[in-house]
Amino acid sequence: MKQRPNNVYLNSDHSAVMIIDQTQLPNREVILENKTPEEMFVAIKDLKVRGAPAIGIFAAFAIYVLAKNNCNQDSYQEFYEDFMRHKSYLDSSRPTAVNLSWALNRMEDVVLSNSSDSITNIIKALEVEAKEIQAEDIAMCKSISENGLLILKDKKNIITHCNAGPLATSLYGTALGPLILAKEKGMDLHVYVDETRPLLQGARLTTYELDKHGIDVTLICDNMAGMLMNQGKIDACFVGCDRVAANGDTANKIGTLSLAILANHYDIPFYVLGPSSTIDLETKTGDEIVIEERNSEEIRSKWYKEPMAPPVNAYNPAFDVTDHHLINGIITEKGICYSPYEESLSKIFDENDVD
């Protein structure tokens, strides 16, 4: 893949946030310029930018651009009120991925901690913070990839769900990161990719990324994983995450729970990979995670010339929550966390790394 250093970046005069429109892949690589609050909201809501880390990076750049171009700069109070209006609007675009609110809260902290400074300097500080969020993600993805590589030593056939590669982050990705790093180191892997209904991120994006990196990849429908596991063709499952609760319950793209249940039945290790920014210790269990429900037409008609179902009711949640007892390990940039997750996840926010 012709890979830019980053898939989310500022234009030359910092008046817009540029992204690869992921809804156009794999057939077209379209670069979108996002200048207005409405364009930024739609970019997140319509999954033009997607993947929990990428959403957080985009949100940080977006609120910086809006502060620079659209916030009232006559007084701090007016500036802060405008900033918060834009922050609340962007934060309402998608409810499940924690990185969105996490990044926006970091940017708000910059505004609050510099309240005695000039508006010009506050805006400069916002720029620095947004770039730092992206730089941190690049470093985290590399560390996650290296930690995940430890699991791959004796596992050649991997299954993954949805998309957690460079497009969803900044560089290597999370769930795909160890696979890409393994290929760079000369390891031979075979990756089965669930198509991932209803938006086909696996079919459209994951196969695209793995194929461009020269990794042997096979696309399957979401309901085929059990048969492959029964045939002994899967050694491990690697998936990303949009929010991890304090007890290890993990929200990820719809279908992840089914894959985890199957892996548990066939005694196949199931790993979740993500940066520590995706861990939400304030959310105690998965029962507290708000699950986004999307337009039912994504199931009935989105991918077809004509609707493939009559106008009956359709249920279209974007995510499900995998119970912590189905997860063998949660791989972060600070190490691999194991059960009991209440202890291991909380430790990664201490100075010492998790083993």
> What residues are labeled active site?
242
Q: Contacts by 298-307 with C-beta closer than 8 Å and gap 24+?
A: 298/198, 298/199, 299/197, 299/198, 302/198, 302/199, 303/200
Question: Are 158 and 187 a contacting pair, CB within 8 Å?
Answer: no
Helices within the chain (DSSP H only)? 37-45, 52-69, 76-91, 98-113, 119-149, 177-184, 201, 207-212, 225-230, 256-265, 297-300, 341-347
Measured CA to CA in angstroms, residue 45 lies from 51, 128, 350 at distances of: 12, 26, 34
**Burial zone of 316 (CB within 10 Å; 0-12 exposed, 13-18 middle, 19+ buried):** middle
Place of tokens 């998309």: 163
